[in-house]
Amino acid sequence: MNSIEPYLKNRTELKAWQIEMQEVHSEEIYMVSNKTEAIRNTSVTRNTVGVFLDQKENEKDSMGESSVRFDGMPDTWKEDIDGAIESASYIKNPAYELSEKWLPEKEKTRYTYDASIHKNAQELIFKIEETARRFCEKHKKRTSLSYLETHFKTRHRRLSNSKGLDLLYPQSEVLYDFSLLSQDREHEIQVFMTRNFFQDLPLYKLLEDEAAKLEQIVTAVLPPTGNFSVVLAEEALDTLFDFHIYQLSGEALFQDISIWKEKDDIYDGKKPVEQLNLSTSPEFQGCSGSICCDLLGYETKPVDLITDGVVTNFAIDGKYSHLLQKQITSGYTNTIVGSGETAYEDFFTNGTIELLRFSTFSPDPISGNFSGEIRLGFIHKNGKRIPIRQGSVTGNIKDGLLTCNYSKERVRRQNYIGPAGVHFESLTLAGDV
């Protein structure tokens, strides 16, 4: 950083520049079954340099921009930056500004940084070994641990630019990647999870929960075909509101593809069963979206997007505030959804489908249509909870919200805080014919 900044300052043809430096330290353990294959300790410094040039396009202000990334300080770093500057000279994009200097509140690091990971990484590695072996011993006649990969990471990021901004903020991350095999080795369940805080991913409970789900998968049947009352929970919640998130973004406004403007009724005058309340906020401990600034260094803040079904604002980050000539609100951070009035268990009448795991599930950001292949769900029938898998569920999130209920109970996932389940009056399943 000390070498790069003076070099950029001396390049007088630059309109602006930005440097992001990441120092990443990772303690890792790799296990096969209950045996440790490797324990690794890695450290790397990554530098990303962005360069910006004044350009003209049909007498309008435009900007050439390019970036280069390198690990550490290679001998070629000057040539790499020169190459990025040359590349920027061939580009003419709409112009925007980088963030001015500001100072973040120190206490905001409590949302993203678990100091115990950095201080006690070796001790945590030994806990992972002991936990995995204890689980394997308990379940050796029922389930086997195929592999377990664990990373404990700490990142110290520094973002500086030509306007005097100089932010330093730490982040931590816990990563689990593992696979469980059924006793007959015919079925498998794979899990990949990250959180910022160690306490948010209790490994033994996670392994136990996944082992129980694997046993359910072994006996699962195809779902029925037709239209059914459906509750979406667990993995579906991570992406369920992606359509609304995009439609209420600065990018959608700039591309002129947002279907809404402020004060619009998202239900087009129809009366929903329960109103949607949606916001975004970086102020939640342990959530991956709890970042202090956007990509250009502008501060992130809470923003109410939909209140009782009415659009109240858009998530407009620093870049799009300039492109749109609109007031900056904040880049999108975590998804916050309001609770409903119904207890989760009260959603399940005879024939209701409960869906938890998918191969893929993401509503289209333009149409709101979605289709997801089912990895695990249940049909509630005659007082029983019958496991189902394979087949698919389809629907449209915009239309479907008219008949939605949101549970009273709330969950916190990677970057979602909201109802534990969302009940749809009718979605289409394709399965057993």
What secondary structure does DSSP assign to 357-405, as a single string? EES-----TTT-EEEEEEEEEEEEETTEEEEE-SSEEEEEHHHHGGGEE
Q: Is 219 exposed, middle or buried (0-12, 13-18, 19+ CB in 10 A)?
A: exposed
Residues in contact with 199: Cβ distance below 8 Å, sequence separation at least 6, in sequence order: 114
Predicted local distance difference test score (pLDDT) of residue 106:
66
CB 298 within 8 A of CB 72: no
CB 18 within 8 A of CB 162: yes
Predicted local distance difference test score (pLDDT) of residue 92:
92
Tokens 């947002």 correspond to: 258
Predicted local distance difference test score (pLDDT) of residue 57:
63
CB 403 within 8 A of CB 425: yes
Tokens 């949101």 correspond to: 406
DSSP 315: B
Residues in contact with 275: Cβ distance below 8 Å, sequence separation at least 6, in sequence order: 308, 309, 338
In 3D space, the residue among 334, 403, 397 whose CA is nearest the CA of residue 361 turns out to be 397
Residues in contact with 209: Cβ distance below 8 Å, sequence separation at least 6, in sequence order: none
Residue type, 316: I
CA count, 13 A, side-chain hemisphere, 396:
7
CB 80 within 8 A of CB 70: yes
Q: What angle do CA 294, 117, 133 make, to 5 degrees?
A: 125
CB 18 within 8 A of CB 159: yes
Predicted local distance difference test score (pLDDT) of residue 1:
58
DSSP 112: T
SS3 78: helix
Measured in whole angstroms, the distance separating CA 427 from the mean position of its chain's CA atoms is: 25
CB 159 within 8 A of CB 23: no
pLDDT per 10-residue tile (average), the chain, 433 residues: 88 96 95 94 95 80 93 93 96 94 78 89 94 94 94 94 94 96 92 93 96 94 96 96 97 97 96 97 92 94 97 97 96 97 96 95 95 96 94 96 97 96 97 80
Predicted local distance difference test score (pLDDT) of residue 64:
95
CB 170 within 8 A of CB 154: yes
β-strand partners of 179: 147, 190
β-strand partners of 61: 56
